[in-house]
Amino acid sequence: MPGARAMTTPIAIDHELIEGRYAELDGYTVAFERFPRDVDPAPYFAGLPGDRCTCPHWGVVTGGQITFRWPDREETYGEGDAYFAPPGHLPLITAGTSVIEFSPTADLAVVQDVIGANMAEAAT
């Protein structure tokens, strides 16, 4: 059975807003993510349908707090909480938050491509 460990998974994103380590596990990606500052990444989802994340995520908050926002509701999770975030959400993340999250690899790749392009554009 495939597995991953945060400290042995290479850093794929090292940005002032996020440190991300990602490992593919049989069609799913496990993400080990840390957020050193408060971040509302909504602008980075621009260009996806509804300008919202189209990928489902299953995760555990290992530190801090994350809020998922949908057009009709918000759900907030803190350290020790497990969550499921269906498509159509926007995250809101507090400084010091860390998560371990599982997502379908193909769906996540589409979202990460758009986020990456928007982050690169914002940096110029």
Residue 46 belongs to domain spanning: 11-123
Q: In the chain, how many domains are there?
A: 1
Please check the confidence at residue 97 and state whether its pLDDT lies above 70.
Answer: yes
Question: Is residue 118 a part of any domain in this protein?
Answer: yes
Question: Is residue 83 a part of any domain in this protein?
Answer: yes
SS3 for 1?
A: coil
CATH value at residue 54: 2.60.120.10
Question: Is residue 2 a part of any domain in this protein?
Answer: no
Residues 6+ away with beta carbon under 8 Å from 52? 45, 70, 87, 88, 89, 90
At 123 the pLDDT is 81
User: And the tokens for 123?
Assistant: 């940096």
Question: Is residue 1 a part of any domain in this protein?
Answer: no
Please check the confidence at residue 1 and state whether its pLDDT lies above 70.
Answer: no
- Mean pLDDT, the chain, as a whole number? 95
Give the CA radius of gyration of the chain: 14
Please check the confidence at residue 114 and state whether its pLDDT lies above 90.
Answer: yes
Q: How confident is the model at residue 22 (pLDDT cuts 50, 70, 90)?
A: very high
